Every structure is written in C-alpha cells, then in structure tokens.
Structure 1
Amino acid sequence: MEYVGRVPAPPLDRFVDDVYCLTGVPRHRRVNVPPMPSAHLFLNLGGPARLWDSDPSVPPAVFTGGWFMGVWTRRFLIEYPARVRLVGVHFKPWGMAPFVGVPASELRDRWVPADAVWQRSADRIRDRAGEAASPAAALRALEEELLSRLAETPPRGLDLVRHAGGRLETSHGAVPVGALSDAAGVSGNHLAAQFKAHVGVTPKRVARIYRFAQLILSVDARRPVDWAGLAHTAGYFDQAHFSREFKDFTGHTPTEYLDLRRRFPAARGFPPDNGPMPAD
C-alpha cells in the first residue's frame, strides 16, 4: 500500500497535522489503532471499510463513503478492503472545531458518516478526489474543501485551546495542566471546559494521549527495549500505572506488544504502520 501525505500550507496547518492518500493492497487487512492525539476524516474511494470499538457494547459499523472520528480515548479496530483507496485528514486534537458544526463531545470515541456532518457535500469531494489524476491532485481537492469550510472567525475559546494544546504537543504531554492554565491566565476549570467544548476531553486526557503516543512511537522493536527507561522519559513515574495504561490503550502488555512488532515490523517511512498494530 502506498502512502502519500503532506502538511498543508497555512492557515490549515494550525488545525491539521497532514492530509494523505492511501492506495493499494494493505499489508494487514485488520489493524488495532491505539489512542493517538488526532481526530480524523476518512473519504473512502474504494470498497467498504469496517470498524469495531474496543467497547464490546458498541455495534460495529460498515462505511462505503466517508466518516468523521473525534479524539479517541480507547483503541478501535479497522478492517480495510482488499484494495485500499482513500484520502484522509489527521486533524490536531482541536482541529475539527472550525470545520464542523458538531460539538466535539458528540464525536469523541465515535465514528459519524461524513454526510451527516457535511450535509451530503462529502459526496462531491469524494467525486473530485476520485477523479483526480494523481494523489497530489486529490490532496489539493481535499485542501480546497477544507479551506472553503474554515470558519473566518474561530469559535469562542478555540485560540486558548490551540495555544495550550500546542504546548502539550511540543512537550509530548509533559507540561503540567496547572502550568497551562497559569500561563493562559485562566482557571483550571475554565481551561478544562474549553477543551471539552473543542476537543471533547480535558487537557489532562490530551496530555496522557500525547505522552503515550511519544512512548509508542519511540519503541524500536529491532533492539532490546528498556521499558522502565522509556516510561520514565515519557513522564510515567509509576510502573504499575504505565503497565495498566499500556494494556488499556493497546490491548497488550508491553512484552506482548514487542513480540507483535517483531513478528510484524513496521515498514520504514510508512507512517500508518507506526501507531496501529496488526490484528490478523
């Protein structure tokens, strides 16, 4: 499977980590995706994709078109079609807010058909991307759609969340939440309320996800792994807490995860292999 992606030009880069195309035969049809510091838009140009929540009470879903996903605080599983053709957006945790009129709390840990959010215009952008002569042209069409939907005036409180979230991003979740509210000159309760409004979760939860993402992406399965050292570097000072959160986020113990990565190594230079884990 081929990945073509890029960071969009300003002002989209304030809200979007990358736009990308995936095409071809997937290395693994089914992958587990741990919580990562992003929200998503997928526009499916190929066969149906299937999604499962790690919460067994949530029914699975099948998507033939597109879907939005807010920030996830638990893992989910995606099954690709035999041949993949999709374009997507990795939004920053707060990045959906100026593009959609849906409260972030309604998209947290959920998948929602794109047409339900963009009122059936998702079909139009899918057609444009599907008819594009190259991945670069498909990404241009996607960026143009995002630019056309970017609110001229950011929703109230979004600038506060973006600046505080940017500090969590650059520090990989290491900045104490109290320091964020002090620097912004607001109360901790106000900061938490704004994060819930624009991200769907508290800044403390966003920090946890950034911290875990930094740890998981720093694992080199080709070499011996000092889990205690990695956990401490990532800001975990309680080994029991680290082990519990690792199992919650991946479904595996650190030892099981390392064995999985060694049996199914990530492709060098292929970002989608760096976080998700083979489930087949």
Structure 2
Amino acid sequence: MDTRSRDPRPAGSMEAGSMEYVGRVPAPPLDLFIDDIYCLTGVPRHHRMNVPPMPSAHLFINLGEPAHLWDSDPSVPSAVFPDGWFMGTWTRRFLYEYPARVRLVGVHFKPWGISPFIDMPASELRNRWAPVDAVWRRSLDRIRNQVGDTVSAAETLRVLEEELRSRLAEGSSRGLDLVRHTGRRLEASHGAIPVAALADAAGVSGNHLSEQFKCHVGVTPKRVARIYRFARLILSVDAQRPVDWSELAHTAGYFDRAHFTREFKDFTGHTPTEYLDLRRRFPADRGFPPDNGPMPAD
C-alpha cells in the first residue's frame, strides 16, 4: 500500500521480513501521473493493516490469493478481491488484509494521476474500491495472462508499464493541466499553500479550481492539502527518539493542537500517544514503502 508523502521513492528491491517490494518510477510521460509501479511478493509479517489517507490513488492487480478490505465507515460493506481493483483518493482510513501469501502488481498514481487512465470522473472512485474490469472493461484476464507466469519482476513491470502507456489518454484537458500544475505546488509545499493563493496564481476562481479537482482527483484542493499535511507529519515521526508532537504538528502546518489531535485520530484510528506506542512495538523497516504509514491492526 502506498504510504509516503510523495518523496521520490528509490528504485530497486527492498525487503521486510519475508516480503519483497520491487518498484521503479515509469518512463516519461507516465512519470507525470505515476509515482511508481511495483511488485509485492512474499509472506507478510502482519496480515491486517490499518491504512491512513495518503495523497495517492491506486491500481492493484492480484496474482495470488484474494485480498480483503474494510472501510472505517461501518455502514460500508467489506469487499473481497480475487483479481484486481482500483482505489481512488481516500479521505479516511481503511483496513486491508493480506492473504497468507502475497503476489500483486501495483501502481501508485499521483492524486491527479488516475484521471487520464479512466473513462469516468475521479469523484466516482473517491473513498471507493472497484474491480479492475468495472473500470477497464474486460481487460484483467489479458493482463493477468501476460504477467501471470512471469518470474522476473523487471519483466512484470515492463508489461504493466506498456499497459499503462497504451491507456494514457492522448492529450489532456485544460482542467487536468490546471489540476496537475496546482497539485504539484501542493505536493512541493506539503499542503502549505492556501487554496486561494493557488487559484489566484492560476488565474481562476476558487470554485472553478475546486470543481476541477473534484473531477480529476475526486476531492477538493483543500482536502488534498490536508492529506499532504498529514502525510508530512506522519512520515516525520521517528519512533526511536522522543517525539515532540507540538513541534511536529506546528512544522506540518497545524496551529491548533485540538484540531491536530482530532484529525490524527480520524486518520489513524489512534491518538498520537497510541500511535507512537504501536510504532515502537512494530517498527517500520527502513526503506520498505508499504510499512511507512500503515500500522498493524491485528
């Protein structure tokens, strides 16, 4: 699962326990829309993970046993995916259960990056997961057949990259260009630039910018800024040292401690103190992206 605050992720192979993550940034122009493509294989240390919102959308192609997902909203039914699924931008946490043995291929889209690959508004995937074939009509079997017997991670990633390249819409709408430009500014500032300043700099109204973000990201720029801000904070926690939450919150742009604590609990399901205790009990494996943000829920 994607868990970082959009800092460039090194290519190569990284291991955590008996899990292996092999990922790389795709070649241009895909890199304008995608942070990385990757293979994840092995036996997980923890089977159920509590995943906070992160500035990303996702594609997962499951080559192994079914995966199980739960929304933190108890009114939403859980889902089991034997094949593959898309996920849009999430504004709340969800739970993901690995199968006993993992073999999947994935894409971490930038928040605006999923838009040119799907024939629907990104808002239809906000806080949702959807089977791949519901988005890419009758294509999953073909993709799985191409990579299903491939032993080499490099070859698997090549096949996935070619599939993505073939589906990238030619040209982009003015709305997507606007969202990509302002989204990159939010990314670089970790959500610190006011939305009004973004709109003014782009020469559009705040309402127009928000409508374009809803179409191409699924959420408003204000919501994207909140997620970037939280991602910066959560990934700056060093559980091996004393943590000054007030300082971290201020650095990340939280100026109201009560608001910070409430948002932290909403996004993680834990208070900052509870989260830190969990992180010390279950330390992240350095350089292994899937463990940087989610926490074990079992």
Q: TM-score, normalised by structure 2?
A: 0.93
Shift >6 Å, 4+ stretches = none
**How many correspondences in the alignment?**
280
In the alignment, what sits opposite 2:211? 193
For residue 106 of structure 1, report the CA deviation from its aligned partner. Answer: 0.8
Gaps of 5+ in 1: none
Instruction: State the alpha-carbon separation in 2 of the partners of residues 129 and 234 from structure 1.
Output: 41
For 1:131 and 1:171, locate their aligned partners in 2 and report how far apart those are by CA, in whole Å. Answer: 42
| Secondary structure of the corresponding residue to residue 157 of structure 2 | helix
Shift of 1:133: 2.6
Q: CA deviation at 1:155?
A: 3.1
- Find the counterpart in structure 1 of residue 258 from structure 2: 240
Give 3-state SS (helix, strand or coil) of 1:98's partner: helix
Q: Which residue of 38, 43, 47 corresponds with 2:65?
A: 47
Q: CA deviation at 1:3?
A: 0.4
The residue number in structure 2 matching 1:137 is 155
CA distance in structure 2 between the aligned counterparts of 1:99 and 1:156, rounded to whole angstroms: 16
Opposite residue 81 of structure 1, the aligned amino acid is: P
Tell me how far apart the structure 1 counterparts of residues 87 and 170 of structure 2 sit (CA, whole Å). Answer: 23
Q: For 1:238 and 1:201, locate their aligned partners in 2 and report how far apart those are by CA, in whole Å.
A: 23
- 2:107 paired residue number: 89
**What amino acid maps onto 2:203 in structure 1?**
G
Name the SS of the counterpart of 1:40 in structure 2.
strand
1:170-229, Cα deviation, whole Å (9 max, x unpaired): 111011111100110001010001001111100000000000001001101111101000
Which residue of structure 2 aligns with residue 35 of structure 1? 53
The residue identity in structure 1 corresponding to 2:39 is: C
Identity of aligned residues (%): 81
Q: Distance in 1 between matches of 2:294 and 2:96?
A: 10
Q: Secondary structure at the match of 2:31?
A: helix
1:211 has 2:223 as partner: no
Match of 1:21 in 2: 39
SS in 2 for 1:62: strand
Distance 2:139 2:192 in 1: 40
Q: 1:35 & 1:277 partners in 2: Cα distance?
A: 12
Q: CA deviation at 1:131?
A: 2.0
Whole-angstrom CA distance in 1 between matches of 2:174 and 2:24: 29
Aligned to 2:193: 175
Letter in 1 for 2:258: A
User: SS of the counterpart of 2:263?
Assistant: helix
What is the match of residue 2 of structure 1?
20
CA contact (8 A) 1:97 1:155 kept: no
Match of 2:239 among 211, 221, 233: 221
Distance in 2, matches of 1:155 and 1:22, equals 33
Task: Give the corresponding residue for 2:290.
Answer: 272
Partner of 1:263: 281
Structure 2 unmatched ranges of 5 or more: 1-18
Q: Which TM-score applies when normalising by structure 1?
A: 0.99
User: What residue is the counterpart of 2:14 in the other structure?
Assistant: none
Contact kept, 8 Å, 1:31 with 1:276, in 2: the verdict is: yes
Q: Residues of 1 paired with 2:209 and 2:238: CA distance?
A: 36
